[in-house]
Amino acid sequence: MSGSTPMDALLPLTVVVPLLGAAGVSALNPLFGNRRRLLDAVAILTAATVAGMLIIIMVGTAGGQQVYWFAGFTPSHGVALGIDFAVDQLNAGLAVLAALLVTAAMVFSWRYFERVSTYYHALMLAFLAGMVGFCLTGDVFNLFVWFELMGVAAYALTAYRIGERGPIQGALNFAITNSVGAYLTLSGIALIYGRTGALNMAQIGQAIAGHRPDGLVVVAFALILLGLLTKASIVPFHFWLADAHAVAPTPVCVLFSGVMVELGLYGVARVYWSMFGVGLGHRTSITAALSAFGILTAIVGALFCFRQRHLKRLLAFSTINHAGLFLIGVALLTPLGLTGAAVYVVGHALVKAALFLCVGIVLHRLGSINETLLHGQGKQLRITGVVFALAALGLADLPPFALYLGAGWIGQSGDTRGMPWITVVIITTSILVGAAVSRVAGGVFYGIGDPPSEDPRMGEEASEETSETDEAKSRVPLSMIVPPAVLVALAVVVGLLPHLGPTVQAGAIRLQDQGAYNATVLAGTHTAHPRAIMAVEDAGVTVTDTVTGAGTAAGSLVLALVSLYWRRLPLLRRGFEPGTGLVGPIRRFQSGVVNDYVTWMVIGLACFGGALALAIR
């Protein structure tokens, strides 16, 4: 791009501002002293400023890609010399989502923590910079660096309550598994650099497009994807996620579930569509290999979610379920599949963030996050109960929350590609997850049904949690209830936006057009109408989607009632109570031992690499 537009100034600022904010609050720490509110205000303002800048950028990309070359190193004769930010609607939208959630989390933290260290603010802002940089970059090594910045900030935030046992174990598991994934990704980047001599994604894509994919390209693709899939908590790389969510401070969980996991999947889509897509030839077998992992993830996540009694772990497994569904959407390789995944991600982020914040309020007020102990205890938290119940229904795909559109479009696109069972997977797993969360809503906030039987281990876990928050207050502070309420309302607003489908689909088509991406990045020529690789389907709001979504939500409610009243039902009386069956095998599987997790990663890499090798043969 030639000349300097206001956009050129804004793009680098989206990462410079949070990094400066992080450095600033650390450096000026002595000046802040005990004026903690000043510190909170600086962090909120910084995050909100970044969100504002990104919204301006997102609106500005409506007409196409914006490319910014750092230090003015523009490509020379089609060869990329510098590092670029290449922004389109979808990655700008994801970055906006990250900045909004950080803002909401920081507002929530205002009253949530009794005392808070400066490094909390610094780490949150560094985390934000990592996420925004990861979204916007157009250089694959740069992608790895942002990935690691995001990772290191996240590991440190997980261990925020460093004086306790759970956070240390959770952070160790998180850090070691994700580091192994990141180093394998780096190996893949090194291999593809060895083949193409380039680090710019567009240039790598151009270099491998003209040849039949050989072993080296397939190995590089598998290795690069491994780190991203680990971040995206795809089975069998998912074990760290539940441990990290169980122990991280609640406002941090909002970011982990809301965007960090989804960024891993964005990475998969970006790497595929900007680098490998044309070279690998958009084969049906790639869809088969990736969506198999997605389906497995969705099922495992939903089953583990349903049997959980620890609220943060329950929500964490629900995130794993959704990550699987998003991966299916990406794996379909169709514009509508990616559109569905994008809308699903946004709806899920808003709803899941609200759920986590409500759990934070429960922890703040009632001193526990164990469903067993909390049964009927949340009745006086009226507004929190309403917000939580609404968010639970949204998570179960109830229209008009945005999630039902995403689920419907992914299913519809699966039908067109001859995979009608994708709809079945989406509906059944969504019912399980929706039932688990609705069960919590009914049991904890309204005292419906019978209390679950005691589990001694849970008391021990729950007692650790209380030190995270301020002492119980007489009423919920406004700064804690407003963010989740606004997020739930936003999920409805997004679901009701006119022209949502066609607008997002236009962004998806642009992201998927590698030729247009190459032309914009390497030659600066703008393509007004990107070409869709697969057939474009109609991304409208159909009656089928609405009925399916409402049916899924109704099914969730029925299953939730069954699991609350199971003791009084004739056939189920002798059956397993949710959370009591198969305790031994499940504890051995989700063992908390990082050695086991890395073993699963190696097995997963072997399966994944094998599946890709067969697919691309």
Task: Look up residue 273 and give its DSSP letter.
Answer: I
Task: Tell me the window of 193-201, 295-303, 427-435, 569-577 that interacts with other proteins (CB under 8 A).
Answer: 193-201
Closest alpha carbon to 110 in 122, 99, 98, 121: 121
- Helices 478-496 & 335-366, crossing angle to 10 degrees? 160
Token pair, residue 557, equals 């409610």
Token pair, residue 157, equals 């935030």
Task: Tell me the window of 15-23, 173-181, 279-287, 546-554 that interacts with other proteins (CB under 8 A).
Answer: 173-181
Q: Which is nearer to other proteins, 317 or 356 (CB)?
A: 317
Tell me: does residue 163 bind other proteins (CB under 8 A): yes
Pairwise CA distance, residues 517 & 513, whole Å? 6
Give the DSSP letter string of 370-406. BHHHHTTGGGG-HHHHHHHHHHHHHHTT-TTSTHHHH
Tell me: does residue 162 bind other proteins (CB under 8 A): yes
Task: Look up residue 69 and give its DSSP letter.
Answer: E
> Quick one: which of 175, 228, 328, 407 contacts other proteins (CB under 8 A)?
175
Tell me: does residue 213 bind other proteins (CB under 8 A): no
Tell me: does residue 595 bind other proteins (CB under 8 A): yes
| Minimum distance of other proteins from residue 23's CB (angstroms) | 15
Pairwise CA distance, residues 63 & 65, whole Å? 7
Q: Say how many residues touch other proteins, by CB under 8 A.
A: 50
Token pair, residue 276, equals 């490998």
| Minimum distance of other proteins from residue 144's CB (angstroms) | 8
**What binding mask, one character per residue, do residues 435-464 give for other proteins by CB under 8 A, x or -?**
--------------------------x--x
> Quick one: which of 97, 122, 156, 490 contacts other proteins (CB under 8 A)?
156
Q: Which is nearer to other proteins, 312 or 417 (CB)?
A: 312
Residues 150 and 240 sit within 8 Å (Cβ to Cβ): no
Residue with token string 């994944």: 608
Q: Which is nearer to other proteins, 170 or 340 (CB)?
A: 170
- Which is it for the CA torsion 314, 318, 321, 323, positive or negative? negative
Tell me: does residue 32 bind other proteins (CB under 8 A): no
Task: Look up residue 200 and give its DSSP letter.
Answer: B
Token pair, residue 1, equals 């791009």
> Quick one: which of 186, 259, 407, 532 contacts other proteins (CB under 8 A)?
186
Q: Which is nearer to other proteins, 176 or 448 (CB)?
A: 176
Residue with token string 């919204």: 55
Tell me: does residue 246 bind other proteins (CB under 8 A): yes
Binders of other proteins among residues 224 to 243 (CB under 8 A) are 242-243
Residues 32 and 105 sit within 8 Å (Cβ to Cβ): no
β-bridge pairing 66-69 and 84-87: antiparallel
Residue with token string 């193409």: 196
Tell me: does residue 187 bind other proteins (CB under 8 A): yes
Tell me: does residue 61 bind other proteins (CB under 8 A): no
Residue with token string 């971040």: 231
Tell me: does residue 481 bind other proteins (CB under 8 A): no
Residues 518 and 205 sit within 8 Å (Cβ to Cβ): yes
> Quick one: which of 191, 303, 536, 607 contacts other proteins (CB under 8 A)?
191
Whether omega before 578 lies within 30 degrees of 0, making that bond cis, reads no
Q: Which is nearer to other proteins, 89 or 169 (CB)?
A: 169
Pairwise CA distance, residues 280 & 266, whole Å? 19
> Quick one: which of 28, 78, 194, 281 contacts other proteins (CB under 8 A)?
194
Q: Residue 84: beta bridge partners?
A: 69
Residue with token string 């914009």: 520
> Quick one: which of 52, 82, 540, 592 contacts other proteins (CB under 8 A)?
592
> Quick one: which of 8, 164, 415, 577 contacts other proteins (CB under 8 A)?
164
> Quick one: which of 172, 207, 292, 299 contacts other proteins (CB under 8 A)?
172
> Quick one: which of 45, 583, 606, 614 contacts other proteins (CB under 8 A)?
583
Tell me: does residue 606 bind other proteins (CB under 8 A): no
Pairwise CA distance, residues 441 & 376, whole Å? 10
**What binding mask, one character per residue, do residues 134-153 give for other proteins by CB under 8 A, x or -?**
-------x---x--x--xx-
Collect all residues with Cβ–Cβ distance below 8 Å to 124 and sequence separation of at least 6: 43, 47, 102, 105, 106, 153, 157, 252, 255
Burial of 571 (0-12, 13-18, 19+ CB in 10 A): exposed
Tell me: does residue 70 bind other proteins (CB under 8 A): no
Pairwise CA distance, residues 299 & 322, whole Å? 10
Pairwise CA distance, residues 272 & 162, whole Å? 38
Q: Which is nearer to other proteins, 475 or 587 (CB)?
A: 587
**What binding mask, one character per residue, do residues 247-266 give for other proteins by CB under 8 A, x or -?**
x-------------------
**What binding mask, one character per residue, do residues 292-331 give for other proteins by CB under 8 A, x or -?**
---------------------x------------------
| Minimum distance of other proteins from residue 27's CB (angstroms) | 18
Residues that bind other proteins (CB under 8 A): 141, 145, 148, 151-152, 155-156, 159, 162-166, 168-173, 175-176, 179-180, 183, 186-187, 190-191, 193-194, 199, 242-243, 246-247, 313, 461, 464, 583, 586-587, 590-595, 598-599, 602
